[in-house]
Structure 1
Amino acid sequence: MNILAFIPARGGSKGIPGKNLYPIAGNPLLFYTIDLAKKLDKNVIPFLSTDDSDIKAYGRSLGLNDDYLRPKELASDSSATIDAVMHALEWFQKSNEVQIDSVLLLQPTSPIRILSEVQSAILRFKEKKMESLVSVTLMREHPFECIKAGEDSWSFLEKPSGKVTGRQGYTGNYYFLDGSFYLASVDFLKNNKAFVVEGKTKLFESELRYSIDIDELEDMKIAESILERKLKL
Structure 2
Amino acid sequence: MSSSLLAIIPARGGSKGLPRKNILPVGGKPLIAWTITAALEASSIDEVILSSDDDETIKLASEWGCNAPFVRPASLASDTASSIDVVLHALGMCPGFDYVALLQPTSPLRTSLDIDDAFKILNVSGANSCVSMCLAEESPFWMYRLRENMQLESLFPNQNVSRRQDLPPVYVLNGAIYIARVSWLLQSRSFISEDCVAHIMPRERSLDIDTADDFEELKRVIGDRKR
For normalisation by structure 1, the TM-score amounts to: 0.88
What is residue 43 of structure 2 aligned with on the other side?
Answer: 41
| Residue range with higher mean Cα deviation, 57-66 or 150-159 | 150-159
5+ long unaligned stretches in structure 1: 94-98
- Are 1:112 and 1:227, in contact at CA under 8 Å, matched by a contact in 2? no
CA distance in 1, matches of 2:148, 2:26: 41
**What is the count of residue pairs matched by the alignment?**
224
What is residue 139 of structure 1 aligned with on the other side?
Answer: 136
What is residue 214 of structure 1 aligned with on the other side?
Answer: 209
1:155 matched to 2:150? The reply is: no
What is residue 119 of structure 1 aligned with on the other side?
Answer: 116
| Residue range with higher mean Cα deviation, 50-59 or 199-208 | 199-208
CA distance in 2, matches of 1:80, 1:209: 27
What is residue 223 of structure 2 aligned with on the other side?
Answer: 228
Tell me the amino acid that sits aligned with residue 129 of structure 2. S
- Kindly state the Cα deviation for residue 68 of structure 1 after the two structures are TM-superposed: 1.0
1:19 matched to 2:18? The reply is: no
CA distance in 1, matches of 2:136, 2:86: 30
Which segments of structure 1 move beyond 6 Å, counting only runs of 4 or more?
none
* 220 and 149 in structure 1: CA distance in 2 versus 1, 3 angstrom threshold: farther
5 Å matches for 1:1-233?
A: 1-41=3-43, 43-93=45-95, 99-153=96-150, 154-159=152-157, 161-162=159-160, 164=162, 166-170=163-167, 172-197=168-193, 199-209=194-204, 211-230=206-225, 232=226
- Are 1:137 and 1:209, in contact at CA under 8 Å, matched by a contact in 2? no
What is residue 96 of structure 1 aligned with on the other side?
Answer: none
* 114 and 158 in structure 1: CA distance in 2 versus 1, 3 angstrom threshold: farther
Tell me the amino acid that sits aligned with residue 208 of structure 2. D
Over the matched positions of the two proteins, sequence identity in percent amounts to: 33
Question: What is the SS of the residue equivalent to 1:117?
Answer: helix
Q: Provide, for residues 108-141 of structure 1, a one-character-per-residue CA deviation record: whole Å limited to 9, x for no partner.
A: 1111213322211112222333211111111121
- Are 1:37 and 1:44, in contact at CA under 8 Å, matched by a contact in 2? no
Q: Provide, for residues 147-197 of structure 1, a one-character-per-residue CA deviation record: whole Å limited to 9, x for no partner.
A: 334554333333564452x32222x23110011101111122111111112
5+ long unaligned stretches in structure 2: none
- Are 1:143 and 1:156, in contact at CA under 8 Å, matched by a contact in 2? no
Tell me the amino acid that sits aligned with residue 135 of structure 1. S
CA distance in 2, matches of 1:48, 1:163: 46
- Are 1:147 and 1:155, in contact at CA under 8 Å, matched by a contact in 2? yes
- Are 2:127 and 2:195, in contact at CA under 8 Å, matched by a contact in 1? no
- Kindly state the Cα deviation for residue 208 of structure 1 after the two structures are TM-superposed: 3.3
For normalisation by structure 2, the TM-score amounts to: 0.90
CA distance in 1, matches of 2:143, 2:160: 17
